[in-house]
Structure 1
Amino acid sequence: MSDFPSDLQTAILEKNYSASSHLLGHILQEGLLEEIAAQLEESNTEIPHPTLELRDHIMSFLGLWELYFAIEIPSIEILKIIQRQGLRPDVKAQAMEFIRGLLEKNDPRLDQSSVNIESIIKTQYAVLLPQILTRRSEELERCVIPFKKAPTSQYCVAGLLKTYYGKKIASATLSDQVFDTVVGKIAFDKIAESLTIAGIDVESMLQEKESHDWDEIVCKLAEQHASDVESRELRVLHRVKDARSEIFLDSFRKQVAALDTILNSKTQVCNDVLMAIVSDRNNPIRRRAINALGHTGDHSVMEFISRVMNDHDEGARIEATRTYSLLASHSKWTGVHHRIPPASEKVPLLDIAKINQVLNNLIAKRMPPAIINDTLTAVAMQGGSNAIDILERLLVKPQPQIRMAVIRASRLLERDAAARIIKSALNDEDGTVVNLAEKELENRWSDEVW
């Protein structure tokens, strides 16, 4: 019998995703998961600094790469759950049904705020977008912000930070500060101002509390933090998730710390972030990011690195040459390509009819433009005649903000399709809508006469 634990660890060390997927499939089919998991967990406890290497391979095997940070379940546990459900021939389809179940039950282990619409729109998980977008709007509608006035004003934003849009806006507003779930008036006023600009009714969320009720809220928060026992993998996952944002802060110290966190996790899931840093020629940690890509062992970034080798910055060119050489030597040494296999060939299309229904509900409820923008992004990225028809029909809506959102969404369409949107918008009765359409015309069709 094959030494599955040793073979799997070798595949992980070599970043050989094809081999690890083959082994994981056999482990599940042979019913050896519990035994193998116990051996892996025992060996992992001996490692002083846990990594995300095993998670990389399991998420790739299950086709869950685009939901890497959204699923707050240890990767081995995901395999166990799927096996208990009864293993089916298509394990990736089974994994998708598992995710659909978490979403339908509002299971807190699926953090939908970590789902990137643009990342999943062309994957099998596009079919879940109507549910995700609906949930994001509903959670904001139900959001409550308890506060007390005396002796000093304090606001509990724990509930707000659990919503997709609340977290997004609050994090962007206080990006250069460390803030807790309970904030003072100065910090809250900044958050409230940003929420209001985004079209969110903050006043409707506020609930004043008496002192004894407030103390109870604070105590519950403390208990939640104290009992928040996670696996080592999830602790690293949360640190890396934070690092993905912190690496873009306007602080060299925080950027370096975030980069170190990503490197220490030994994951390939942050290569998109590293490439974004490298693409910014003014970023102070650009050369470090080039070097970091070499240590990920991801063979698929070599083409990107080869372009950096022609950069105008000599230091970047030198670093890129070293990185390219390192990746090439690793590939030659192991005889495998260190890259994540492409997603499934058959990708279910986004249900445009359901998205249209979600969109109409959002408009009827007068939801903030930020929520409508995300929905229109999903429509535009899907493309096709149905998507264009939906966008064109929205141009007759009475709210200028919606018509402007349609113009912004048209940026994701091909030029000919987008031209239909812009031509209609140029005849709008609202000056702000026309101005935005004219800017789009100048940006995309500056060399043409209409």
Structure 2
Amino acid sequence: MAITRILIANRGEIALRIHRAAHEMGIETVAVHSTADADAMHVRLADSAVCIGPPAAADSYLNIAAIISAAEITHADAIHPGYGFLSENAKFAEIVEAHNIAWIGPKPEHIRTMGDKVEAKRTAGALGLPLVPGSDGAIETTEEAKRVAAEIGYPVLVKAASGGGGRGMKVIPDEASLETLVSQAKSEAKAAFGDDTVYIEKYLANPRHIEFQIFGDGRGNAIHLGERDCSLQRRHQKVLEEAPSPVISPEERERMGGIVSKAMADMGYRGAGTIEFLWEDGKFYFIEMNTRLQVEHPVTEAITGLDLVREQIRIADGKPLSVTQDELRFSGHAIECRINAEDAFTFTPSPGEVTSYHAAGGMHVRVDSGLYAGYRIPPYYDSMIAKLIVYGRTREGCIMRLRRALEEMVIGGVKTSIPLHEALMQEPDFLNGDYSIKWLEEWLAKRQAD
């Protein structure tokens, strides 16, 4: 049975993005929202809307029972989780499917496998993906940690198996500090994720963060849509992404793309996914897989011409991939700036009323945002309020267009990160594509010192 009505289990720009794709396919949408989001743009535009709880995410966007109830009363026959919230919750996916509602996402067992970083690394190795040297699984004792660290050489990195966002992660410079830092990592992991399982990897001194977008049909067919460079990060949070990466050759893209797409085909993967790597000295090292749509998916759409959300819906509806690998063409360059409601350089949150709003426009300029003049940005959720995506035939042309678009973008009444992006567009290292995952924090520290 074809999908006719999608419940969007998310908020903000991604909820609006899903609504637009659905309507272009002739599919109705249901918006669920907290009381804080009653006036949100996706709620206004959806065919129907259901309030599922108070502002706190735990009582609304993470409330599985309320979301399923909303789907039942609106007769939604599919649920799209977006990113964040419940998008990588295998239990939620299972519950959705148990209610005979189509889950617009990967198979629950793949979400569960890749959500456990130890199991994900083991699976990735079995599928032939290149790994960072480290422990085969969880580290149980200090003696085991010391043995692994001695084998791969200091410095090493201890990471939470259930973690993300840098929590439960510590760099261990030498054996003398190992026991203390492993203990701290386990405590952080327990507090943040309810799981103190940790593992150890070789610490790469100055890598880039490069990820490959993949799609599978769940029947043993998979394709890759090229790579994105997400190395501009602060506290392990991405700030700006571009595709393709300035350091990856077409030959390397084809080689690594072939490896990741074969791995996903062998896995029988269904839907959208992202294989994330650290890249240093010409070598890729698998770090994790995200079993969902990524915030930065528009840069891939820009260089391939493929609507990723539309593709997700098609695959969840039992249709085959709309393109083959041979039919895909990579063209030009795209950059995405994440625009947050915060001070551009102190990063202090800045919720409040948007007194004026003008989205940048012009050829090959896209703004994904639910903002409008008079909208009040709530203080309860992630601070990202817009994404500015610009495409150019060349990287240099893309940067010039992005500079102009940033000048044009107006968000009044709150502080935003636009000035940060404007400053980055003048930096020689960025202009030359010469940056790593450490570059932005070092640049910010130097700027504050000056």
TM-score, normalised on structure 1?
0.30
Please say which structure displays the higher CA radius of gyration. Answer: 1
Structure with the largest fraction of strand: 2
Give the TM-score taking structure 2 as reference length: 0.30
